[in-house]
Amino acid sequence: MSFSDYELLVVLAQESNMRKAAEKLFVSQPALSQRLQNIEKQWGAKLFIRTQKGVILTPSGEMVVNFARKMLEDRERVYEEIQELNAKVHGTLKIACASIVGQNWLPKVLKQFVSAHPHAKISLITGWSSEILKSLYEGEVHVGIIRGTTDWKGEKFHLFEDSLYLVDREISKIEDVMETDRPFIQFKSDSNYYQEIQNWWHRQFQTVPKRTIIVDQIETCKQMTYNGIGYAILPAITLTGSEKDVFKIPLLDEKNRPIKRDTWLLGYESAFELKQVKAFLEIVQKYLTLT
């Protein structure tokens, strides 16, 4: 049976009259009668009995009409759920993000995204920018957030830039770096960031640090610096402003301008057609205008 057959049975049961039911269904009375015969043949039972006043349901007819009403109600419910589904953001948002951004910036944005779209799910991986680009190229994620310069050919959106600082408890000016015997604490990073620091260092001092400590994580590097073990070069995104008794000296380029790191949101055009990705981008853009 089709939904039009269910509707026929329900209308005929409501009207109890072939002529009125035919008018309501916009069919001729002979056509209605023929369709009813076919339905009864499918069920192998008489569903309506004709009388001088109209038609009445048989016991079998009551059962079938109740079934037809339920089918129509279920169809309406499913239709409403589909409309609601189309109006809401569902699916999984897959993000690959530079670790430093994932720790310091992204959580604030994701909090707003989850609040606005509670039905959406989030899959997040963090790593170096080179690893993020690999995830994008291989289609493992919808969007990537990387640090530094990029020659990405797909869609890209500039998120923000932040300056680099030499951070220490003792050193208050750049010139003092060459006077201290305390170590330069360096965190492992992608080659792009590492090269940027090396270029600045050689341009500034024409030599290498006297002592170096290399750690895996930027947070470890920061905490060692705050505890006076040595000095480090840290991006502003990691500095909350709540640090006490810590000197923060901006790094300058050859034109005496602050050295800054860019952060980009990347993805293929097809990914931004997905509802969850489009919604995430809207949240990001709104967040950037308010900060």
Per-domain boundaries in the chain: 3-87, 93-160+261-290, 162-260
Q: Tell me the fold of 3-87.
A: Arc Repressor Mutant, subunit A (1.10.10)
Calculate what percentage of the chain has a pLDDT beyond 90.
75
265: amino acid identity, one letter: L
pLDDT at 80 over 90: no
**What φ, ψ does residue 132 adopt, rounded to 5°?**
-65, -45
- Whether the CB-CB separation of 57 and 13 falls below 8 Å is answered with yes
pLDDT at 224 over 90: yes
**In the predicted model, what is the mean pLDDT of residues 262-269?**
96
- pTM for the full model? 0.70
**In the predicted model, what is the mean pLDDT of residues 240-262?**
89
pLDDT at 149 over 90: no
**In the predicted model, what is the mean pLDDT of residues 107-115?**
95
3-87 and 162-260 in the same fold: no
130 — pLDDT class (breaks 50, 70, 90)? confident
Q: Pick one of 3.40.47.10, 3.40.190.10, 3.30.540.10, 3.90.110.10 as the CATH number of 93-160+261-290.
A: 3.40.190.10
- The pLDDT, as a whole number, for residue 243 is 72
- The pLDDT, as a whole number, for residue 191 is 72
CATH 3.40.190.290 fits 162-260, yes or no: yes
pLDDT at 122 over 80: yes
How do residues 22-72 score in pLDDT, each as one tens digit?
999 999 999 999 999 999 999 999 999 999 889 999 999 999 999 999 999
pLDDT, the chain, mean: 92
**What φ, ψ does residue 28 adopt, rounded to 5°?**
-75, 160
CA dist., res. 225 & res. 242, Å (int)? 14
Torsion of CA 266, 272, 274, 278, to 10 degrees: 90
pLDDT at 172 over 80: yes
pLDDT at 85 over 80: no
**In the predicted model, what is the mean pLDDT of residues 269-284?**
94
- The pLDDT, as a whole number, for residue 170 is 93
**What φ, ψ does residue 57 adopt, rounded to 5°?**
-75, 140
- Whether the CB-CB separation of 123 and 277 falls below 8 Å is answered with no
